[in-house]
Amino acid sequence: MPKIDLYRNVHMGQRARLFTLATELGAADISSSGCAADQADRCLAMTRELREHADHEDTFIHQLLRERAPQAADALEAEHVRLDAAFVALDERARELPSAPAEDLPEAQHALYLALNDLISAYLAHLHAEETVAMPALWSHAGAEELEAVMSAFRASRTPEEALTDLRRMLPALPPAPRAAIVRDVVENAVPGRADDTLAAVSSTLGPDQRHRLYEDLAPVRDVVPTEPLPQSAG
């Protein structure tokens, strides 16, 4: 049975969306109507999400880490100082962008792009520390039952809407096998008669090829597999 990894899947989703945000911000036509406000809002939404994610880790994971592997916990705390500064710098640049004069917009856009990439640099180092220092420490000093209890407590804390958002953010970044395993569990535990609706909801951020592969992987456990592609969602 695979080890319980508290970080892997969610971090893969975060990396994918951070890279996409940086690429799209850099290439955006900032002079078009509403573009500056849209790009600023996307950056502010990302910092809100990453701060919330850090709070979740502190609540559900890092307390156990501090108890069992305090040196590993100290290593993560050192990362937070640089991360907090990068969050603040990105937020400041994002709030400034929509009010920049038209002639200054290209430089303001690039300044925001640089601030976002500085955050990404700091955040990647933080993820690496969690994945290569914190998680191995937990595997060494906590049992599988304790790690499963952490996952269960987090899931219980999420509303159905929040849990759906979590899945939509994460699933496009995962390989087919773990993606199918996660969705299979969700569909099998759906409200009776709502399995197809649940599948449609959780798969709405997948690309057409990803969705087709998912339906193929789920076919052995489902009576009906949709044959028409579902509409994409920005969720």
Final residue belonging to a domain, choices 122, 155, 188: 155
> Does 165 share its domain with 78?
no
Are 68 and 137 in contact, with CB atoms under 8 Å apart? Answer: yes
Share of the chain above pLDDT 90, in %: 83
What tens digit of pLDDT does each residue of 202-227 get?
999 999 999 999 999 998 655 544 44
Which pLDDT score is estimated for 232? Answer: 36
Q: Residue 37 belongs to a domain with what CATH number? A: 1.20.120.520
Are 16 and 30 in contact, with CB atoms under 8 Å apart? Answer: no
> Does 105 share its domain with 36?
yes
Which pLDDT score is estimated for 228? Answer: 43
- SS3 helix, strand, coil % of the chain, rounded to 5? 80, 0, 20
> Does 151 share its domain with 53?
yes
Determine, yes or no, domain membership for 232.
no
What tens digit of pLDDT does each residue of 98-154 get?
999 999 999 999 999 999 999 999 999 999 999 999 999 999 999 999 999 999 999
Which pLDDT score is estimated for 222? Answer: 53
Final residue belonging to a domain, choices 131, 155, 179: 155
Which pLDDT score is estimated for 118? Answer: 95
Give the mean pLDDT of the chain.
91
Which pLDDT score is estimated for 1? Answer: 63
What tens digit of pLDDT does each residue of 4-17 get?
999 999 999 999 99
Residue 110 CB partners (closer than 8 Å, separation 6+): none
| 27-52 mean pLDDT | 97
Which pLDDT score is estimated for 224? Answer: 44
- pTM of the entire structure? 0.89
Give the span between the Cα atoms of 25 and 45, in whole angstroms: 14
Amino acid identity, position 88: V
Give the span between the Cα atoms of 55 and 35, in whole angstroms: 30
Q: If 0-12 CB within 10 Å is exposed, 13-18 middle and 19+ buried, where does residue 97 land? A: buried
3-state secondary structure of 152: helix
Which pLDDT score is estimated for 10? Answer: 97
Residue 231 has pLDDT above 80, yes or no: no
Of 157, 122, 158, 129, nearest to 65 by C-alpha is 129
Per the structure, how many domains does the chain have? 2
**Which domain range does residue 22 map to?**
8-155
Give the span between the Cα atoms of 73 and 79, in whole angstroms: 10
Residue 230 has pLDDT above 50, yes or no: no
- Report phi then psi at 75, rounded to 5: -65, -40
In this structure, of 20-24, 58-62, 87-91, 209-213, the range with the lowest mean pLDDT score is 58-62
Confidence of residue 54 (pLDDT cuts 50, 70, 90): very high
Structure tokens at 36: 């500056």
